Amino acid sequence: MTTSKQATAAHPPHDPAEVDDSGCRLPRLWTRTLGDLTLTYVPDAGVHMIPTRVYPASADEDWTEHGPHMTDAGHLAMSCGALLVERVERVERVERGGRRLLLDAGHGRISGEDLEHFQHGFDHVQNLPDHLRRLGVDPATLETVAFTHLHDDHTGWARPDAVDDPRSLFPVARWIVGAGELEGLDPASGPRLAGQSERTTAVADGTEIAEGVRAWALPGHTPGHTAWILDTGDGRRIVAFGDAMHSPVQIEHPDWEVVLDHDRARAEHSRRRLVEFLAQDGVFGFGVHFADQQLGTVDGGGHWRPWEDK
């Protein structure tokens, strides 16, 4: 990322499409239909990471083979955002309500200027509310947000300080987290979610939280870290796996812990289970941080195959 790009991050343009970001691997909004489900990736930020700081077990020379995941400037590209899940039967959805589900809630209100030691820079920050508006999704009526875990880059627009309304961007939504996630929080840092104690339900491994949406406990990154398995209704499954993996390189290096993993051994164990699951036929993975390749499959050689935008 150049100096001019940093200036861009401080003053995000109205239309990200106007910016020449070739080589930055920024996240894009996309919509795909699989079986009965329509999935929309709602981007909120692009982040450029310093690879050996995100993955302390890696060395500079390890990254020469990972060009497809790097920016032109040699940083590891990541995205922040949310996954909007809708059942295709639109009439039924409107009549019955509750057919929309958001998985995670973006990075939220950030300037992009307060960098962690493993980050090099942000781009196109805090545009999830704009994208929802353009999609015709009213956050005021959204009923459910399920979280993979409660780190700030996933709770963004659900935090008590997300917007002027202390109920957050989603004033009536119920929050769903995996069992153990609330107990793992540091009480001194205050609630992570608006109305956390009243609005949050913690669910056990395997719980179906909406039609065809089940919890899969993948602990380690945080104590209650949970993936969400979506059943498409035609025999396929999509697993939204949160921070069990931060980039496709971990499919080839499941032993590479990420700098923020709470329990490295458990995180690695979960990651290996996840890679095994993703290698099955009919299973798609959704990696919220996977730069411009969020949706894909793991091929027979153990590589990430993004589902190309057509």
> Which residues here bind Zn ion, judged by CB under 5 A?
151, 153, 243
Q: What's the min distance (Å) between Cβ of 185 and Zn ion?
A: 13
Backbone angles phi, psi at 95, to 5 degrees: -70, -40
Q: Which is nearer to Zn ion, 131 or 221 (CB)?
A: 221
Alpha carbon 38 to its chain's center: 17
Residue 112, SS3? coil
Q: What's the min distance (Å) between Cβ of 54 and Zn ion?
A: 11
Distance CA 156, CA 106 (A): 5
Q: What's the min distance (Å) between Cβ of 259 and Zn ion?
A: 10
Could you tell me the two tokens for 96? 């019955």
* Burial grade of 180 (CB within 10 A; 0-12, 13-18, 19 or more): middle
Asked if residues 80 and 44 have their Cβ atoms less than 8 Å apart, the reply is yes
Distance CA 300, CA 3 (A): 41
Q: What's the min distance (Å) between Cβ of 152 and Zn ion?
A: 8
Q: What's the min distance (Å) between Cβ of 271 and Zn ion?
A: 13
Distance CA 33, CA 231 (A): 12
Q: What's the min distance (Å) between Cβ of 57 and Zn ion?
A: 17
Which residues, in sequence order, are CB contacts of 181 under 8 Å at separation 6+?
147, 149, 150, 202, 222, 223, 224, 225, 226
Q: Which is nearer to Zn ion, 99 or 151 (CB)?
A: 151
Q: Which is nearer to Zn ion, 181 or 243 (CB)?
A: 243
Residue nearest to Zn ion (CB): 151
Q: Which is nearer to Zn ion, 34 or 150 (CB)?
A: 150
